[in-house]
Amino acid sequence: MRYFISTTPYEVAISVVDDMNIDAVINPQYQYKLDEMLKAVEPLRAFDSPIFTAGRLAFFFPKIQEVSQPIYADVVASIRKKQDAAAALRAELDQKSQYDLMQYVTRFPVSNPELVSYDDIHDLFAALNELDEVNALTAVGPVEETTDENLKIVYSLLRNTELNSDNTVIRTILTNYRM
């Protein structure tokens, strides 16, 4: 068995069982990239040629590298930890009312002034609203109300910021928005 990992930009761990089969674990936000690869290589099965070669993996994940099993296991554990945290946050979101979400968002800067300000929260909502407007202009069918979804997104961003004591994601979003 061969083991491959890529930590940037896609966090993925792939064990090549044989040239035709893999076991893969990927950061949930990049699942589309793994699905894209699997769909693209599927026609090769008809030719009975090796599908999961190092070169093909590198085509889809340019920074992928072959590693030892212990390093692979560490990356898998890291990805699974993130998957579990994402699932817990989704469950938390499902249990909270819109009122509870709004209370958390509006109180966050008071509890965590070193991480985020009221201006930052305002700009996060403004950035999401701009994206909604762009999506509405390019939509083919009816446009759904996104206010509740934006509240959940901001709540999720703030909750992750609080749990990790790290506002890097929010700072990146705001830097791009404020340009």
Q: What are the residue boundaries of the structural domains of the chain, listed by start?
A: 2-88, 96-178
Secondary structure, 3-state, 166-179: CCHHHHHHHHHHHC
From CA 175, how far away is CA 173, in angstroms rounded?
6
What is the band of 179 on the pLDDT scale with cuts at 50, 70, 90? confident
Q: State the CB neighbour count (10 A cutoff) for residue 95.
A: 8
Q: Tell me: the pLDDT tens digits for 19-54?
A: 899 999 998 888 899 999 999 999 998 998 889 999
From CA 72, how far away is CA 50, in angstroms rounded?
22
> What pLDDT was estimated at residue 138?
60
Q: Tell me: the pLDDT tens digits for 123-154?
A: 999 998 888 766 555 655 544 555 788 999 99
What does the DSSP 8-state code read for residue 140?
A: S
Helix, strand, or coil (residue 120): helix
Prior bond of 9 cis (ω within 30°): yes
> What pLDDT was estimated at residue 164?
85
From CA 126, how far away is CA 121, in angstroms rounded?
9
Which tokens sit at 20? 């035709």
In degrees, to the nearest 5, what angle opens at C-alpha 80 toward C-alphas 161 and 71? 110
Residue 3, H or E segment: strand 2-6
Q: Tell me: the pLDDT tens digits for 68-80?
A: 999 999 999 999 9
